[in-house]
Amino acid sequence: MTAYIVRRSGLALITLLAVLTLVFVLVRIVPGDPAQVILGDQASREAILAMRVRLGLDRPLLVQYFEFLGGALRGDWGVSMVSGRPVIEEVMAVLPWTLELTLLSLLIGTGVGVPLGVVAAVHRNRLPDYGARIASLLGLSFPPFVSAILLLLLFAIVFPLFPVISATQGSLSAWLQAITLPAINLGLITAAYITRVTRSAMLEVFSEDYVRTARAKGVPWRAVVWRHALRNALIPVITIVGLYLSILIGNSVLTEIVFNRPGLGKLIVGALNQRDYTMLQGMMVIYTFMVVLVNLSTDLAYAAVDPRVKLQ
């Protein structure tokens, strides 16, 4: 187990180093000048050049690269070119918002998706199955910003139960009000994915010999489904949850924008629009780190769910 973790962590470090280099190159390949964006369209060429000097963009690329690499290894991501605030400070300010939204929506997605997938598989080609499949198809087809607007129209305007601006902190009730609609919005889309994966995994497991044997031995159907079949079907579900968690962090940007919530997705899009190189570099590395972490956790979770999986 320890050797496995060490080996995986080593690979993760190499990935991070490659990402650092790639990120540095990528953000500079994109056309657009941060100095121009900061100063606006009335700025003269002279003013733009002066701003480039202030931002350190006049120095050779190699100097900038090694400074970035050195800083990154020390855990110093520099300061945002636009706001002048440390990148890590800006990230830490919005990270909790993204985490709570992502984890809650994942919780909703799993809580709804797994049982729905099981029910659909158990009632294959019958009404509950058709219902679950149509619902999951709808969830997959609906762009998150459309469902977000619909939720707001319904629950913030027609029935004013929740605020439109979901960036509220403070009491538990205020937090609940703020998080409910965005979490439902993202959660139902996640549920759509999980429903489909769970259904197909369960159908595959139902055809296995041990399920037939269990039924032949007289094990109650409920126990066969929930204790024997589901546990075995969870491996692909965990894979998809792990993969989807990575996507979810990025996908949350539309939900963040429509519900006016701060978040990593919004931060990265803003940095991209403003060509904020330092912020983009820091953000992309942090994002990569999170994806690597999620993948590592997914691998480790396999062993916890299925004893046949050996961590070697």
Partner 1 sequence: MRRPFGLLGTVAIAASVIGAGAAFAEKKTLFVGMASADAGKLDPHLTATTPDKGLLNWMFNGLVRIRPGQASPEFIEPDIAESWTSNAAGTEWTFHLRPGVQCHHDYGEFTAEDAAYSLRRAATKATSSFSSDFASLEKIEPLDKLTLKLTLKNPAPGFLGYLVNYHGGNMVCKKAAEEMKENFAKMPIGTGPFEFAEYQPQQFVKLVANKKYFRGVPQLDAIVYRYIPSNASRDLAFQSGELDLIYGRQEETWVERIAKLPGAKVATLELAEMSALYLNTAVKPLDDIRVRQAIAHAIDRQAIVAFKGRSTSRLAVSVVPSGYLGTDEHAPLYDYDVAKAKQLLAEAGYPNGVTVKAIHTTLPSMQEVIEVVQAQLKKANINLDVELVEHATFHQKIREDLSPIVHYQAARFPVADVYLTQFYHSRSQVGTPTAVTNFTHCSLADDDIDAARVEPDPVKQKALWKKAQDKLVKEVCGIPIYEQLQVWGWKDNLDLGYELKGSLNLSPPIIETTHFK
Which residues here bind partner 1, judged by CB under 8 A?
Answer: 30-33, 36-47, 50-51, 53-54, 82-85, 90, 93-94, 112, 145, 149, 152-153, 156-157, 160-165, 167, 171, 173-174, 176-177, 180, 257-260, 262-263, 266-267, 269-270, 273-275
CB of 188 to partner 1, least distance (A): 11
Give the Cβ contact number of residue 66 at 10 Å.
12
3-state secondary structure of 47: helix
CB of 205 to partner 1, least distance (A): 25
Q: How far apart are CA 261 and CA 282, in angstroms?
A: 20
3-state secondary structure of 83: coil
Compare residues 238 and 254 and give the one whose CB is closer to partner 1. 254
43 phi and psi, to 5 degrees?
-65, 140
Compare residues 72 and 183 and give the one whose CB is closer to partner 1. 183
CB of 287 to partner 1, least distance (A): 16
Compare residues 33 and 208 and give the one whose CB is closer to partner 1. 33
Maximum separation of any 2 CA atoms in the chain, in Å: 85
Compare residues 41 and 209 and give the one whose CB is closer to partner 1. 41
Q: How far apart are CA 37 and CA 308, in angstroms?
A: 55
CB of 277 to partner 1, least distance (A): 12
Give the Cβ contact number of residue 129 at 10 Å.
17
CB of 13 to partner 1, least distance (A): 29
User: SS3 sequence, 254-301?
Assistant: HHHHHCCCCCHHHHHHHHHHCCCHHHHHHHHHHHHHHHHHHHHHHHHH
Compare residues 68 and 259 and give the one whose CB is closer to partner 1. 259
The Cα-based distances of 247 to 73, 102, 138, 243 in angstroms read 26, 10, 19, 7
CB of 222 to partner 1, least distance (A): 20
* Residue reference for tokens 């993760």: 12
Compare residues 18 and 61 and give the one whose CB is closer to partner 1. 61
